[in-house]
Structure 1
Amino acid sequence: MMNNEEIAKQVVHSIGGKENIQSVAHCATRLRIVVNNRDKIDEEKVEQIDKVKGAFFNSGQYQIIFGTGTVNRIYEAIESIGVSESRETDVKENTKKEGSKLQRAIRTFGDVFVPIIPVLVATGLFMGLRGLVTHEQILALFGMTPDNISDNFLLFTEVLTDTAFVFLPALVAWSTFRVFGGTPVIGLVLGLMLVSPSLPNAWNVADGGVDPINFFGFIPVIGYQGSVLPAFFAGLVGAKVEKFFRKRVPEALDLILTPFLVLLIMIILSLFALGPVLHIVENWIFEGTIAILELPFGLSGLIIGFLHQVIVITGVHHIFNLLEIQLLENLSFNPFNPLISAAIAAQGGATLAVGLKAKSKKMKALALPSSFSAFLGITEPAIFGVNLRYGKPFIMGLIGGGVGGFFASIFQLKATGMAVTALPGTLLYLNDQILIYLLVNIISIATAFLLTYFFGYKEEKQS
C-alpha cells in the first residue's frame, strides 16, 4: 500500500496537477478541492487511488472521501508538496456562490457550528456518565443509594454538564463573528453579554419563577442561556457592523472606538429587537420539532430514520444541530439522536453486506472499513464509496434506518447529548436505556444487511 505522500502526489496528478487547483481544505472525512477546470479531472483514476473511498462534486468542490483521521494526514501530505496552504475559509470564499440560496445558508450555518460541536459532544458524554454513576442500580452494586452522593460531587458534575449550554450564546457569537469576518473576541464578549447574570435567567423565566424585564412597557428582556438564533444573528449583524466601522474609523482610534461602538450597538439591538423576535422563532421551531417527534405509532422514527441519510447526501444536515440543541435545552434530553443513529447504523449494515458478498478484493477493502466507519457514526465513506455506487444498497439502508427509527420511537429512547451516534452513541445512554439502544441499532443493521445481501447487491455488478 502506498504511503500518504505517494497518495497525495497521485491525487494532485489525477485532478490535473497543481495548476488546476485553486484551493484545498478538509472536513472530518473529505478532502475538499476547488479546481479551475473540472474537465481535467480523471475521476476514474481518482477512484482507484489507495485509501480513496469515493469522490464527487458538491457545491463547487471536488470532494474526495478518505475517512476520519486519514484525511488529515493526506491533507498535510498535499501541503508538504507545495500545492496549497489554503484554509477552509478560502474554500468557502471560492464556493460561496455555488448551490441554491438554501444550500448556501445551511452550509454557512454548519460552518458556524462545526467548531462548537466537540464541546457539546463532551457535555453529552458528561451527562451520560453522571446518569451512570448516580443510577440507583449502579449505586446498589457498591452498597450505596442516591442519598449517599454528596452535594459537592453533584455540584462538580453540574459544572461539567451545564457550562457549555449556559454559555452557548458566547460560543455561537464567537464562531459567527469568525465565519463572517469579524473579530472573534468581540463576538465572544457580545455572547457573554447575552447571558449576563444581571439579566433574568432564561430558564428561571421559563419556569415562571422570575419575570422578564419590560422596557417601554412591551419589550421583554431576558438572558438567552442555551439559545442559538439570537446569538447567531447578533454575530452575523455584528460582524457586518464591525466591518462598516473598520473602514471609517481613523486608524489611531480604531483599537478603542470600533469595539466600543460594535458592542454598544449590538447589545442594544440584540436585547431589544433581535433577541425577543428570534426567541419566538426558536419556540416555533421547537414546537414544530416536538410535533413531528410526537407522531403516534412510531411514525416519527419511521420518517426520520428513513429520510435522514437522504438529507446527508444534500449536505444540509447541519441544520439538525439547531434542533438537537433546542431539544436538550428545553427537555434536558434528545429524542432525535436515537432516530438518526438507527439511520446511520443501517447504512453501515448495507455496506457490510456488500463487503462480505463481493469477490473483488478492492471492493472488500473499500466496503469493510467503510462499514466500520459507519458503525462509528461517519457514513460518507459507506454512502458515497459503496452504497450509492450500486444504488440498491443505499435504498436498503434507508429501509433499515426506517425500521430502526420506528422501534426507537416506539421504545421512546432519549439521549443525554448530541453529535455522537451508533457505537460511540452508547455513551449517551448509560442508564436503563442502553440495552434498548443497542437492540434498536442491531435491528437497523440486521434489516439493512439482510435486504442488501439477498436483494440489494448482485455479483455481476462488481467492479
Structure 2
Amino acid sequence: MAEENKQIAEQLIEAVGGLENIESVAHCATRLRIMVTDKEKIDQGKVEELDKVKGAFYNAGQFQVIFGTGTVNKIHTEIIGLGAPESSSSEQKKDAAQKGNKIQRLLRTFGDIFVPIIPVLVATGLFMGLRGLLTQEEILAIFGMTPADISENFLLYTQVLTDTAFAFLPALIAWSAFRVFGGSPVIGIVLGLMLVNPALPNAYAVGSGDADPLYILGFIPVIGYQGSVLPAFIAGFLGAKLEKWLRERIPEALDLILTPFLTLLIMITAALFVLGPIFSIVETGIMAAMNVVLELPFGLSGLIIGGLHQVIVITGVHHIFNLFEIQLLADDGFNPFNALITAGIAAQGGAALAVAVKTKSKKLKALAFPSSISAFLGITEPAIFGVNLRYIKPFVMGLAGGAAGGFFAALFNLQGNGMAVTVIPGMLLYIYDFLPFVLYILTNVIALSVAFVLTWMFGFNDKMLDEVNQ
C-alpha cells in the first residue's frame, strides 16, 4: 500500500509540472492543495486518471486534488518525502489570497474565522439531541421513569453542556477573528467575554421583555451580546488591526502593559457604545432577508436551497452559510437550513450510487461506490468532482433529488438543533423528538431515491465514458 501511494505521488508530481513547478503542498480533510508556479504546466486530465484521485480543479491559486479522508494524508506524506515543499493550510491560504479576487478573499476569510469554531457547535447540537432523547417520555418509560423523576441537578448538568457554547459565542468569534487578522487570540477571548459579561443586561432577557437595556447618555442602548455574531466579528477584526497598529508605535519596554490595556479599553468602549448597536441592526436586517427565503410558502425554500446548495459547494464558498446557521441556532436553538442542505448532499450520493450500480467499468465502480458512501457521511466533494460533475447529467439529477428532498423538509418545517453534520451522522441532530427524526430520515430517502432513479433512467450510461475520455 505504501509503495502504491508513493507511485501515485510520483505520477502526481510529474502531472503538475514537476517539483520545480510546486511552491508548496498542504491538505485538508479530503483535498491535497498544491500551490504551483505556472498553472499552464498542469495536465489536469492526467491527474484525474491517477488511481485514488476522485477529482481535481484549480481555484484561486491552488490546484486541489480530491483523494478523500485518510488517503489524502498518506499521499501528502509521500509527496513531501519526495522533496515537495510543505506548508500549513493557513500559510497556503495567505499565499492563495494574493492570487484571489476581492470576493474570493472575503468569502475565504469568513471560512477561516467560522470553520474552526464549528466542531464545538456540532458537539453542542449533539448534546441537545441526546438531552432531548433522554428526556422523552417514551425513552424514560423503558426504564420505568417519568419526566418528574429527572432530578433538577441532572437537568442543570445537561444545561451546562447545551448552553455554554452559545452563551459565550462572541468570545469564540472574537478569538478566531483575532487569530485570522494577526492579533493576540487571548485578547480576542477577553474582548468577546466582555461582550457577554453578566453585569450587562442579557440579550435574550431584553429580547423577551424580561430586562431593559442600559442607556448611556440617555439614548445609546447597551446590552450583552449573547448569541450575536456580527458585532463580535467586527470587534475582533478592528481589535486585531488596532493591536497591530499599537505594537508598531509603543516602545518595547511598555508594550506588554500598554498594548493589551489600550486595545481592550478602546475596543470594548467602541463595541458596546457604537459597533454593537449599529451592527446588531445590520445583523437583524441580514437575518430577516435570509429568513424571507427560508419562509417562502409551499416548500419553495426547500426547492431553492435543497436544489442549489451543491452548486455553491462547487465554488468552495459554501462556508459563508456558517454565519447564517450559527445565528439561527443562537436565536432559538433550531436550524431549518440544515434540513434543506442535507437533502442536496444525500442526493449527490444517490446519483453517484446509481452510476456505481449501472456502470460496467470496474474503475468507475471502484471510484463511485466509495464516493457515494462519503456523501452519505456528509462529504460530497468526491461524489461531485470524481463522478457526477465529470459526466454532468448525474450532477443535474442530484440537484433535482436535492430539490425534492428539500421541498419535503420545507413543507413540514423540519429543523435540526445543530449544524455541520448531515445525512447519516446528521440524524443525531433530530433525535430530540420522534417526529423530526422520522421526517429527517424521509427527507434523505426522498432525495437519495429521486436522484438515484433519475440518474439510472436519464443521467448515465457507459457511452459517456468514451465521450469524457476523448
- The normalised TM-score by structure 2 is 0.95
Change (3 A) 1:354 1:332: same
Residue in structure 1 matched with residue 365 of structure 2 by the alignment: 364
> Residue 21 of structure 2 aligns with which residue?
20
Which runs of structure 2 are paired with 1:40-119 in the superposition (5 Å)?
Answer: 40-119=41-120
Which stretches of structure 1, 4 residues or longer, exceed 6 Å deviation after superposition?
none
Aligned to 2:454: 451
Question: Aligned with 2:24: secondary structure?
Answer: strand
Q: Is residue 435 of structure 1 aligned with residue 451 of structure 2? A: no
Looking at structure 2, the residues matched to 449 and 197 of structure 1 have their Cα atoms a distance apart, in angstroms, of 53
Residue 43 of structure 1, CA deviation:
1.6
Q: Are residues 257 and 400 of structure 1, via their aligned partners in 2, closer, same or farther at CA, if it must alter by over 3 Å? A: same
The 2-side partners of 1:319 and 1:272 are apart by 28
Pairwise mapping of residues 182-197 of structure 1 onto structure 2 (< 5 A)? Answer: 182-197=183-198
Moved more, 73-82 or 271-280: 73-82
**Structure 1 residue 60: deviation in Å?**
1.7
Distance of aligned partners of 1:198 and 1:69 in 2 relative to their CA distance in 1, 3 Å threshold: farther
Distance 1:84 1:154 in 2: 52
Could you tell me how far 1:377 is from its partner in structure 2? 0.5
Distance 1:75 1:269, change over 3 A: farther
Greater alpha carbon shift after TM alignment, 111-120 vs 39-48: 39-48
> Which residue number in structure 2 is paired with residue 30 of structure 1?
31
Structure-1 separation of matches of 2:449 and 2:360: 21
Specify whether residues 182 and 390 from structure 1 end up closer, same or farther in structure 2 by C-alpha distance, changes over 3 A only: same
CA shift for structure 1 position 237: 0.9
Partners of 1:14 and 1:34 in 2: CA distance: 14
Instruction: Return the alpha-carbon distance in structure 1 between the equivalents of residues 265 and 55 of structure 2.
Output: 49
Q: Deviation string for 1:30-84 (max 9, x for gaps)?
A: 1111100112222222112222110001122101111123223333333344422
Residue equivalent to 2:424: 423
Question: SS at the partner of 1:196?
Answer: coil
Counterpart Cα distance in 1 of 2:108 and 2:442: 34
The 5 A counterparts of 1:266-415 are: 266-415=267-416
Larger mean Cα displacement after TM superposition, 267-276 or 346-355: 267-276
| Contact 1:351–1:386, Cα closer than 8 Å, also in 2 | yes
**Secondary structure of 1:114 counterpart:** helix
Residues in 2 aligned to 1:250 and 1:13: alpha-carbon distance in whole angstroms:
51
Do the aligned residues in 2 keep the contact of 1:23 with 1:90 (CA within 8 Å)? Answer: no
Structure 1 residue 131: Cα displacement: 0.7
Partner secondary structure for residue 64 of structure 2: strand
Measured after TM superposition, the shift of residue 3 of structure 1 is 4.0
Question: In the alignment, is the contact (CA less than 8 A) between 1:212 and 1:220 conserved in 2?
Answer: yes
Q: Which of 442, 460, 463 pairs up with 2:463? A: 460
Instruction: Tell me by how many angstroms 1:95 deviates.
Output: 1.6
- CA distance in 1 between counterparts of 2:22 and 2:308 reads 35
Question: Residue 437 of structure 2 aligns to which amino acid in structure 1?
Answer: I
Q: What is the distance in 1 between the residues matched to 2:18 and 2:140?
A: 62
For 1:265, the equivalent position in structure 2 comes to 266
Task: Check the 8 A contact 1:98/1:104 in 2, yes or no.
Answer: no
Which one is further off, 344-353 or 94-103? 94-103
Of all paired residues, the percent bearing the same amino acid is 67
Query: Over the residues paired in the alignment, what is the CA RMSD in angstroms?
Result: 1.4
Asked if the contact 1:400–1:448 (Cα under 8 Å) also holds between the matched residues in 2, the reply is yes
- Encode CA deviations 1:149-189: one digit per residue, 9 max, x unaligned: 11111111111111111111111111111111111111111
How many angstroms does 1:355 deviate by? 1.1
| Structure 1 residues 104 and 202: alpha-carbon distance in aligned structure 2, compared to 1, 3 A threshold | same
Report the number of matched residues.
Answer: 463
The aligned amino acid for 2:191 is L
Which digits, 9 at most, give the CA deviation of each residue in 1:411-447, with x for residues without a partner? 2211011110011000011121212211110110000
User: Deviation digits for residues 342-363 of structure 1, max 9, x if unmatched?
Assistant: 0100000001111111111111
Q: 2:116 aligns to what SS in structure 1?
A: coil
State the 1:395 CA deviation.
Answer: 0.4
1:364-402 CA-to-partner distances (Å, cap 9, x unmatched) read 111110010000010011111111111000100000000
Distance in 2, matches of 1:182 and 1:6, equals 42
CA distance in 1 between partners of 2:229 and 2:70 (Å):
30
Q: In structure 1, the residue corresponding to 2:366 is in which secondary structure? A: helix
Write the letter of the residue equivalent to 1:232.
F
User: What's the TM-score, normalizing by structure 1?
Assistant: 0.97
Q: 1:354 to 1:209 in 2, by over 3 A?
A: same
Deviates further, 9-18 or 270-279: 9-18
Q: What are structure 1's unaligned runs of at least 5 residues?
A: none
Equivalents in 2 of 1:72, 1:283: separation in Å? Answer: 42
